[in-house]
Amino acid sequence: MNKPITGAQWIEHESRAAILAELHARPFLPLQVPRRVYHFAFATNREEALADRAALEQLARTHRLEPPAPDAKFHHLAFNGWQLRWEQHAEFTTYSWSTSIGAEKPFDHADPLTRGEIAFRPPGPLIVATHLCVIDGQTPLDELAALFNSQSLCVIEIGKAGGAQALTDFAVDAHGFTRMAIRILEAPPLEAGRLAQRLLEVETYRSMALIGLPLARAVSPELTMMEEELSEITNALRRDESRSNQALLKRLSDLLAANEALSTRTTFRFSASRAYHALVKSRLELLQEAKEGQYPTISSFLNARLDPAIETCNAVQARQTRFSTDVARTTNLMRTGITLEMERQNGALLDDMVRRTRLQMRLNRMVQGISVAGLAYYLVGLFAFIAKGLKEAGALPEAISADMAGAIFVPFALLISWAFMARVRVLSIRAAKEELGD
């Protein structure tokens, strides 16, 4: 950690040292001419990166050199006439081997691995293998250009005031390497190292950006099938006026889940491709390339081939986003139809309940009428029994018989029965309201 400034009474941020170190994490190394460089990039996950760091530490100790720090992303080793530049990135790890041994003639030593000149353990699947030759300006440009594929050869002037020329065809040779060459005219060793590193970064980031293209091509037919199925579901909804088909809703849910799974597979890769594409553009701007004769520039070559590949990835991702929106809209439409259907069914149930309630109320009135008549009948019978007793006891006038007294009592019995049943009804309604209130 950096020491605090003398006399300062503040506490440094915990990330200050890392922020300052990041600006110098991958320095340019001077490059003497002539030089041959073999640049490898390997895809590495977290476990592979840890194993690779351990292998690099062992390689350094074998040659009695200082191993990389535990958190180092860059390390440099020099032994047996070779220099190794090691870098570890988020998704890949690079090994750049360079030597001046046998570098006078370009591409004369094609593969140092099979020749036993270098030996190391590849940390993961190979992504980039580039053979870069750095030579002086005495070699004629036409002679150097003859070593490349003329169909795709790019030649540019790079560096300050055209201090160097770069050649590449982005094609794989018989040994599995893409060839690059830098013809030094006036560039000093540090400038030559800077140009070589940026040219290799263009190739590395170009390859990383294109990883998303096979994935885009692979998922495109699957996405097309999903779009066709969504179209079938939409047409079925248009024909089905109720829009409440549970089977269609299940298919929509499955489509949405499938699209989410597809997005999980592709989102990171497509975002990474765009980021690497931006890095390629940035490195090309830093190269300050200028057209050389009739040859195309690297920028124009990549614009014609790399940009469409990235646009393909963008188009597939846009289709995924649009498809997800369409599925959600169709699902909402179905849910709205189901809600309307449920409301219609609930309305029908309410109408049926109202009809049943009215019938029940009529039945209750009939029952109450019968109950009033029955109660009145029993009251009249009871009164007639009492009237007979009173008649025998001589309590009633001679002109009024027991039957006549019962007949006179009938209206009163009906009134008493109706009042009693009304009271019962009021008490029932009050009890029901109290129960609902609780």
**Residues 169, 172, 178, CA angle at the centre, nearest 5°?**
60
CB 30 within 8 Å of CB 196: no
Q: Give pLDDT, residue 27.
A: 67
The residues pairing with 88 across neighbouring beta strands, listed in sequence order, are 93
Q: Give pLDDT, residue 1.
A: 45
Calpha distance 13→259 (Å, rounded): 43
pLDDT digits (tens, 9 = 90+) for 378-398: 777 777 777 777 767 766 676
Q: Which amino acid is at 39?
A: H
pLDDT at 103 exceeding the cut of 80:
yes
- Between 432 and 76, whose confidence is greater? 76
Residue 229, Cα to own-chain centre: how many angstroms? 22
What DSSP element (H or E) covers 168? strand 164-172
233-268 residues labelled b (16+ CB within 10 A) or e (exposed): beeebeeeeebbbeebbebbeebbebbeebbeebee
pLDDT digits (tens, 9 = 90+) for 19-52: 555 555 566 788 889 999 999 999 999 999 999 9
**Contact partners, residue 278, CB within 8 Å, separation at least 6:** none
- Between 373 and 254, whose confidence is greater? 254
**Contact partners, residue 183, CB within 8 Å, separation at least 6:** 135, 136, 137, 139, 141, 144, 164, 165, 166, 167
Q: Which amino acid is at 317?
A: Q
**Average pLDDT value over all residues in the chain:** 84
What DSSP element (H or E) covers 428? helix 402-437
pLDDT digits (tens, 9 = 90+) for 318-376: 999 898 888 888 877 777 766 766 777 787 888 888 788 777 777 777 777 677 777 77
| Residue listed under structure tokens 């690059």 | 180
- Between 351 and 201, whose confidence is greater? 201
Calpha distance 355→223 (Å, rounded): 53
pLDDT at 259 exceeding the cut of 80:
yes
What DSSP element (H or E) covers 93? strand 92-99
CB 2 within 8 Å of CB 16: yes
- Between 71 and 267, whose confidence is greater? 267
* C-beta atoms surrounding 415 within 10 Å: 12
Q: Which range is least confidently modeled, 181-195, 216-230, 414-428?
A: 414-428
The pTM assigned to this predicted structure is 0.74
